Homo-oligomer: A and B are copies of this chain.
Amino acid sequence: MKSIKFSNVRLNDGFWKAKQELNRHVSMNSVRKRFTDTGRIAAFGCDWKKGMPNEPHYYWDSDVAKWIEAAAYILTVSEDKELEAGVDDIIDKIAENQWDDGYFNIYFTVSGEKRFTERNAHELYCAGHLMEAAVAYYEALGKRKLLDCMIKYADLIYDIFKEKRCAAFATPGHEEIEMALIRLYRCTKNKKYLELAGFFLKERGKNDKDWWCAESATAYYCQDHASVYDMETAEGHAVRALYLYCGMIDYAAETGDGKMAEVCKKIIADIINHKMYITGGVGSTYMGEAFTIPYDLPNETAYSETCASIALIMFAERMLEAENKAEYADVIERAMYNCMLDGISLDGKSFFYENPLAVDTHKRGRNRSTTIEQHIPITQRAEVFECSCCPPNINRTLATIQRLAYAVDGGAFIVNQFMASEAEYNGSKIRLDTDYPLSGKMRIQTENIEELRVRIPYWCGKITSDTSYTEQNGYMVFKNARDINIELEMKPVLVAANSRVRDDRGAAAVCFGPVVYCAEGVDNDDVYSLSVKRGGRITSEYCEKIGFNVLTAEGMRKAESDNLYTPLDKLKTEPAPIKLIPYCCHANRGESDMLIWLTTA
């Protein structure tokens, strides 16, 4: 299966077009402004000196690189001279300040620290993101200045790491460069970048003792606990891990390394079956921002980083191409409508780094008795973070979101995600009209498509179609159909977690199609006293303000009591409607308690 490039798909008026436009006209500017205000963009001038404000941090290159990459995608499909000029300015600074031998890194240029000595200083990670930006910008406008810079830098890295092995470490502390190098290879056709990616992948697991990081010293943290060929489970820092897995499956795709592909299959199964929140969030603990053990999915303290759900989408997208399994498209859908969108406010201006599944405003400032504080995520989105990886990651994801819609497989044309859009590929044409995810109704018109496959989403029980189809591997398969009307039955459903997920025991989440709902305090007072009625009525109503349906469920409310413990038969409860909004829309009306998993009555 091969995805159809975002530039071959045009979003029409609908849910995702609105999100993409907001990203382009608001979020991109908002991130750029904050990056300007915090000195991130000026830092590319590499003229910071001790005593000056805005001391560069070692991940700043990557923050801006992701924003450039997003800009490149926007410029691929539409002209914007001002945006282009802004990007060119930064690229000029990179070219000016690139070292003679090809090295470029803001932090190591101005800090006076020795380059390639500190494995956890994100140098190769920054390099990777700059390479991705360079390829995207070249592909967008044909401008090669940044690409040439990054080719020179990649050549230097090849020389230092692979040829001379004279760096203080052998593989990146934060992965990313592996998939970037493969992208550079795909763009330049220069095999040495593929080779270098393979080198970084295969050296992993050999060097767990040669570095130390105060924050998280273990090898698991940075996926150095095993050779990539011996990995079986998702481990350590979730974003690092998933970027690694992306590199691995890219490498397998380019080289036919079946053993590496098998490892990726095991790992994604581990994530899907044991380590993924109902929101598509992953990485359940802030300690090392990491994957933990199976079924360890706490809600209130969930780390569930926005970047990790984006990285999960990227990994699942690659696995879908490699394996043609509808299940991977389900994972993408789960993450894109829930955790990923939760990462950005409805006005497009602010962002969540962490996406917990419950908020308890009473827990602010807890554990004052102790010095080691239990980490509780922030409750309101922020415009920028000290480590601001998530905002530009959302920028680049929303700029290309339609890349997830369609694919081809041999002669077959595939609909993976449902977006009001049209696409063209090799003379085949498709047009999909839908108000998804408000309903499961869609009309699909095709030209020159013999076999059309339409994914049957995991949440869907009943399908109505005016055109006959067969089912195959999780897809409806239509033959020579030109105009199809389908309805995927979409209704509010109570979903339970596996009983091994201790934190969701006795509780249910209300879902409507792919969208996970939550109860916020601002609508429901004390959400913790509510139970949703099993088999109760749940009504749905469109809310223009948020662009989603809001739900009202039959529920019960426990009367407030001063007692810690009360016999069940003496508990007072009364019927109470529960107002539910999409999880991704929470925290847009001030700080409020929030719950996805409601106890059932």
Contact = CB atoms under 8 A, between A and B. Distances in A.
Interface string A107-127: 000000000000000000000
Interface string A516-550: 00000000001011010011000000000000000
B221 A369 contact: yes
Contact of A370 (B218, B300, B374, B526): B218
Interface residues of A, number: 72
Nearest to A299: B502
A273 B563 CA distance: 6
A209 B148 CA distance: 59
A288 interface: yes
A372 B372 contact: yes
A314 interface: no
A487 B568 CA distance: 22
A282 to B, nearest CB: 12
Nearest to A375: B372
A272 interface: yes
A505 interface: yes
Interface string A88-108: 000000000000000000000
A495 B369 contact: no
Q: How many copies of this protein are present in the complex? A: 2
A362 B293 contact: yes
Contact of A566 (B296, B461, B496, B562): B496
Contacts of A300: 502
A287 B565 contact: no
A235 to B, nearest CB: 6
Contacts of A278: 564-565
B528 A505 contact: yes
Interface of A: 215-218, 220-221, 235-237, 272-274, 276, 278, 285, 287-288, 290-296, 300, 358, 360, 362-363, 366-372, 374, 461, 493-502, 505-509, 526, 528-529, 531, 534-535, 558, 561-569, 571, 599-600
26 contacts: A216-B370, A218-B369, A218-B370, A218-B371, A220-B369, A221-B369, A221-B370, A273-B563, A285-B369, A287-B367, A287-B371, A288-B371, A292-B367, A293-B362, A362-B500, A372-B372, A493-B569, A494-B568, A494-B569, A496-B566, A496-B567, A497-B565, A505-B599, A506-B506, A534-B568, A568-B600
